[in-house]
């Protein structure tokens, strides 16, 4: 059975001191649940602080929001996979919509980052999703398929280490979100494409991201094709985040 993954993306919030304070408050009420994982994608400067707080807890994981595909070099402001690992990260986001649409990250670059992460021992969570214009044009599945095609050529073992997050761009930070049924349909298409690429698709967790809050998390994870959520703003408050992590699937 695929684990339910609850991933918080702190974006450009919570430096090291703020991260430690957040986790002190969150962990005071955290209760591990079998088959449920909690991931924290922190800013690069806070990864070590998060890793120290979650060390020894099998259900918790420290992640970084972005990595460069080169091992080292003249890339001012970037973080290599090895640096992220040294700081304590065990996972990385790749291709988040803000990286694509604010910073101009291309599909080719997401493919390079996925391969660098896999080679360096990080779990890549590849983010895919369409804009509002693409959705209204009926191009959702074509866009998602194109974004997944960067995984072509990976072997089954590598593909099995992937995590995918479907985050429709029009739903991020807007208060809008795809209905659980709509999201589940896209997740099913993603799983089908992963199978075509040679992945053990039934073992790859596929998350939904886009204006997830305590009041809609349970309805989302109740869909069998939705294996968890990737959460932005609502992951910044320990109580709100705890409520999401405790969302009942039944």
Q: What is the CA radius of gyration of the chain?
A: 17
User: DSSP code of 211?
Assistant: S
- Residues known to be catalytic: 96, 167
Measured CA to CA in angstroms, residue 228 lies from 122, 134, 222, 250 at distances of 19, 24, 9, 14
Going by their DSSP bridges, the two strands 123-128 and 4-9 should be labelled as unpaired
Q: Is the dihedral of CA 169, 222, 188, 105 positive or negative?
A: positive
Place of tokens 């349909």: 185
Per DSSP, the residues of 43-99 read: -GGGHHHHHHHHTT-TTEEEEES---SSSSSS-TT---HHHHHHHT--EEEES-HHH
């Amino acid at each position: 059975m695929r684990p339910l993954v609850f991933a918080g993306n702190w974006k450009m919030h919570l430096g090291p001191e703020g991260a430690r304070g957040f986790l002190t408050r969150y962990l005071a009420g955290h209760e591990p649940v079998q088959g449920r994982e909690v991931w924290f994608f922190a800013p690069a400067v806070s990864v070590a602080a998060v890793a120290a707080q979650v060390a020894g807890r099998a259900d918790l994981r420290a992640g970084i929001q972005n990595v460069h595909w080169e091992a080292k070099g003249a890339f001012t402001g970037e973080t290599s996979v090895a640096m992220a690992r040294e700081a304590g990260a065990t996972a990385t986001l790749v291709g988040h919509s803000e990286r694509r649409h604010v910073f101009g990250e291309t599909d080719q670059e997401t493919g390079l980052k996925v391969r660098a992460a896999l080679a360096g021992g990080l779990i890549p969570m590849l983010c895919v999703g369409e804009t509002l214009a693409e959705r209204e044009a009926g191009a959702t599945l074509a866009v998602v398929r194109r974004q997944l095609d960067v995984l072509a050529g990976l072997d089954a073992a590598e593909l099995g280490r992937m995590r995918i997050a479907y985050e429709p761009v029009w739903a991020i930070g807007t208060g809008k979100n795809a209905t659980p049924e709509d999201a589940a349909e896209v997740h099913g298409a993603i799983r089908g494409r992963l199978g075509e690429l040679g992945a053990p698709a039934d073992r790859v967790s596929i998350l939904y991201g886009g204006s997830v809050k305590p009041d809609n998390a349970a309805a989302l994870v109740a869909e069998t094709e939705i294996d968890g959520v990737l959460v932005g703003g609502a992951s910044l408050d320990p109580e709100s985040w705890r409520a999401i992590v405790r969302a009942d699937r039944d």
